[in-house]
A and B are shown apart, each in its own frame.
Chain A
């Protein structure tokens, strides 16, 4: 009759817990003396083995427990090739790193725990595979794949002249359930309007079409596209928008001839009500300034001609102040400048 053999090996984890001192440091204190040796322990199980006639099938081979050998650190040469020990990213192995590293919050009156069995050292990412020597080796191997920057484009001015379009894209790298990031499809295209071939009418029409997308101070047009799902599609769409804007700006429609003063983007003083008023006022004042080029046809008491009036410095100053007020809005400086211009004009 075959006796049932209940032979089983039990995984024996030996963890001895040290002193627990202080609040909240239980887990650290327990690591002081904790070892992580998991060993197949067979020494306790002779009882159920059965008689000596149990050979073959049910025999549990009693493997003699091997003692762990000397750690590799003892045999390491100080001039060894470290990139052979850590050729790529790996967790910390205390037997392979010949440094007396200590890590962990110390017990009161103690020191941080040693490296053997130290979970904190295993948890933290290490850069043992990226020593300066290893980085140099890697870069030597990578250098043939790199290309040089062209010589004629060293300054930003050169770049703006030859390559005025800037396309900004962003890539994201992170760990997670998915490698995709929907924010990676956003593309921003920037270009200076001065680098595009535009005449006066085209520039005005372009500025009207752009609206908010144009920055007056830097003369940069910004087009941001994110309506397509892929980055390549968004760059193509941005270039398409630029092309359409450009060609539409050069087109003159039939209804553009109906543009009134109110439709204009900026206030122009020439041929405006303000200019008429000024000329009328000055004509009524009608004191010809000595030194002005008054024609022979004008006698005393008659108003000087329009061009002469317009060329006067006070009129120019008035024109500048009114244009600034209308275009840039009301501010204290602008209003004060207008006041000064009016005073000078009317010689108050």
Chain B
């Protein structure tokens, strides 16, 4: 009988904690990775300050952070005022988290129009027309780290209203990998260097 009781207590604790910060849940987020790509760049680590969570949920790993030159968020919906409110929310969240916002603009809407027969049988002259309007809003964010992008996008996406879709295009930057820095052939102009095609022909 003790086991169910213990389980309920844990559940209550989780409910209390999760109601304080409803968006984060109790998974430990692998955040705050230092960036190690070259000597000119400094790695920065953040430690959790006083949080409402019972234990520090932030783990710091040595895995290098991905860097995004640009993250472009396009939201689509049928109601323009919902997208207006969402844009206000997303831009404010970006400012609060210290993310450089680029262009925030509204691409022109798409209207899908259908003209259908009104009646199931004959009456060709009487039709009914429907249209579906899709409004767009685009936010461009520049120079984000992978952790920041993950945090921001998760926050944005958990608060996406019903009936709104989102496309996120990210441009990640990376170094030239080590195996492409130098050609692997010993002498690049040697004619008798064994080539894979020669082996296949033989």
* Cβ B176 vs Cβ A196 within 8 A: yes
Which residues of the other chain, A, contact B10 by a CB distance below 8 angstroms?
none
Which residues of the other chain, B, contact A164 by a CB distance below 8 angstroms?
173, 175-176
Which residues of the other chain, A, contact B96 by a CB distance below 8 angstroms?
135-136, 139-140
Q: Which bracket fits the contact residues of A?
A: 35 or more
Q: Given known contacts A87-B22, A124-B79, A147-B31, is B69 in contact with A173 (CB within 8 Å)? A: no
* Cβ A142 vs Cβ B97 within 8 A: yes
Interface string of A263-292 (1 = CB under 8 A from B): 000000000000000000000000000000
Q: Which bracket fits the contact residues of B?
A: 35 or more
Instruction: Mark out the residues of chain A between 208 and 252 whose CB falls within 8 Å of any chain B CB in the assembled complex.
Output: 239, 242-243, 246-247, 250-252
Interface string of B162-202 (1 = CB under 8 A from A): 11111111111111110111111100111101010100000
Task: Tell me if A97 is interfacial: C-beta within 8 Å of chain B.
Answer: no
* Cβ B82 vs Cβ A169 within 8 A: no
* Cβ A172 vs Cβ B97 within 8 A: no
Task: Tell me if A302 is interfacial: C-beta within 8 Å of chain B.
Answer: no
Instruction: Mark out the residues of chain B between 69 and 86 whose CB falls within 8 Å of any chain A CB in the assembled complex.
Output: 69, 79, 82, 85-86
Q: Given known contacts A125-B82, A173-B157, is B29 in contact with A250 (CB within 8 Å)? A: no
Of all chain B residues, the one with the shortest Cβ separation from A235 is B172
Task: Tell me if A308 is interfacial: C-beta within 8 Å of chain B.
Answer: no
* Cβ B19 vs Cβ A87 within 8 A: yes
Task: Tell me if A174 is interfacial: C-beta within 8 Å of chain B.
Answer: yes
* Cβ B169 vs Cβ A141 within 8 A: no
Shortest C-beta distance, B57 to chain A (Å), equals 9
Instruction: Mark out the residues of chain B between 34 and 57 whose CB falls within 8 Å of any chain A CB in the assembled complex.
Output: 34-35, 37-38, 40-49, 51-52
Main secondary structure of the interface of A (DSSP, over half): mixed
Q: Given known contacts A135-B92, A147-B65, is B168 in contact with A171 (CB within 8 Å)? A: yes
* Cβ A88 vs Cβ B169 within 8 A: no
* Cβ B33 vs Cβ A152 within 8 A: no
Shortest C-beta distance, B52 to chain A (Å), equals 7
Q: In the complex, which of the residues A88, A129, A138 has the most CB atoms of chain B within 10 Å of its own CB atom?
A: A138
* Cβ B69 vs Cβ A159 within 8 A: yes
Which residues of the other chain, A, contact B93 by a CB distance below 8 angstroms?
135, 138-139
Which residues of the other chain, B, contact A201 by a CB distance below 8 angstroms?
188-189
* Cβ B67 vs Cβ A167 within 8 A: no
Which residues of the other chain, B, contact A159 by a CB distance below 8 angstroms?
69, 173
* Cβ A252 vs Cβ B191 within 8 A: yes
Contact sample, A vs B, 18 pairs, CB 8 Å cutoff: A127-B85, A142-B24, A144-B32, A145-B58, A146-B31, A146-B152, A147-B145, A152-B40, A166-B69, A167-B174, A169-B169, A171-B167, A172-B168, A191-B176, A195-B176, A196-B180, A197-B182, A242-B180
Q: Which 5 A-B pairs have the closest CB atoms?
A: A250-B183, A125-B161, A139-B96, A174-B165, A150-B41
Contacts A174-B166, A252-B193 supplied; 17 other A-B pairs, CB < 8 Å: A124-B82, A125-B163, A135-B93, A139-B93, A144-B49, A146-B145, A147-B145, A148-B44, A149-B144, A165-B175, A165-B176, A167-B171, A168-B169, A169-B170, A171-B170, A173-B157, A197-B181
